[in-house]
Chains A and B, each alone.
Chain A
Amino acid sequence: MKNPPRLVEVRQKVLKQNDLVARELRQSFQQAGIYVVSLVSSPGSGKTAFLEKTLSLARQKFRTAALVGDLATDNDAVRLARSQVPVKQIITGTVCHLEAEMVRTALDGWTPPDLELLFIENVGNLVCPSSYDLGEDLRLVLMSVTEGEDKPLKYPTIFNTADIAIITKTDLSAAVEFDSQAAHRNIQSVRPGMEILHVSAKTGEGMDQLQAWLESRIESAAVAQ
């Protein structure tokens, strides 16, 4: 007679390897005094324009650098280099998200000296990046006014794992009849209590506020250490 299968308890996180690398990254960032901010959004939400503006503001106060994930091109890195901070491209090939190991490999031998603030731009995707910890201190989720107010309801997980929602391209709000209240309601519905900022990288509206918000987070992290 065939023996019944033997059941063994395992309890192992599937992404244990990624979580492990992310934890090591977080530790080494903390030791080196580097604050890390990641950006997630759908393709075409204005992430690169936003980052370009953010980098040029941030570099006035912090030694700043950026890693940018892209499927195939180095267009983003070329654009971001205009902000005059060190930028490195991570070309992910067919992989639709960044993983902690990709960040570690990209930083190996590249990390600029005395770095204080590192931005990591994830691949434009609102689904897959939500599962992967990159060792960041903060995760910003961007949605543009042109995408529609119900984006958070369609992609609740990414909004749930982020620390702040940034509504971008506000210069186009009137043209697309963006309903700001509905957008706020939807964000609060999937992630109660989430902070929300409105920015336009084009006109600069809201960028100073964002910068002040970032600075306060960086300062309180430094105090906590």
Chain B
Amino acid sequence: MHELSIALSIIEVAEEQSELHGNARVAVVHLKLGPLSGVVKQALLSAYDLAREGTALQECQLQIEEIPIIVNCPTCGDKRSVVSIQQMCCSVCATPTAEVISGRELEVTAMEFCQ
């Protein structure tokens, strides 16, 4: 259960950004989350609820966009989704591949500031 320390890091990022923008109040933090980041969405949302209490982000929403795993399929020669995280093979031709293009994201992509 490391989602709490991840949530605290998100708050840190948001506070830094708020400072850069004249201490503007943050309404929403947008986060991209891939299944290979090792972070579970639901656990992160609960941890975030705890972590934001008593901070400047107390009322700030965390909006998580889940990113699918995309691999480079050597057979199709193209970007493909996989069957599942347990079955890392091309969803089109079933070739196994470890060449992950996306799915490891754990990244704050945007923030909404109150004006």
Residues of A within 8 A of B (CB): 3-17, 95-97, 127-128, 130-131, 153, 156-158, 160-161, 188-194
Contact = CB atoms under 8 A, between A and B. Distances in A.
Contacts of A161: 36, 38
A157 B106 contact: no
Interface of B is mostly: mixed
Contacts of A97: 2
A15 B9 contact: yes
B21 to A, nearest CB: 7
Interface of B: 1-2, 5-6, 9-10, 13, 17, 21, 24, 27-28, 30-31, 35-39, 85-89, 96-98, 100, 106-115
Contacts of B112: 5-8
Interface of A is mostly: mixed
A8 B6 contact: no
15 contacts: A3-B114, A5-B115, A8-B17, A11-B110, A12-B17, A13-B106, A17-B9, A96-B1, A130-B38, A157-B35, A158-B38, A160-B88, A161-B36, A189-B87, A190-B86
B69 to A, nearest CB: 9
Given A5-B28, A5-B115, A13 B89 contact: no
Given A3-B114, A14-B108, A160-B36, 4 more contacts: A6-B24, A10-B30, A15-B6, A192-B88
A131 B27 CA distance: 27
Contacts of B96: 188-189, 192-193
Contacts of B85: 156-157, 160, 190
7 closest pairs, A vs B, by CB?
A192-B96, A130-B38, A128-B2, A5-B112, A3-B115, A131-B38, A5-B27
Indicate the member of B5, B35, B112 with the most A CB atoms within 10 Å. Answer: B5
Contacts of A17: 9
Indicate the member of A10, A14, A97, A160 with the most B CB atoms within 10 Å. Answer: A14
B115 A10 contact: no
Indicate the member of B1, B21, B28 with the most A CB atoms within 10 Å. Answer: B1
Contacts of B111: 7-8, 10
Given A130-B38, A157-B38, A194-B98, A12 B1 contact: no
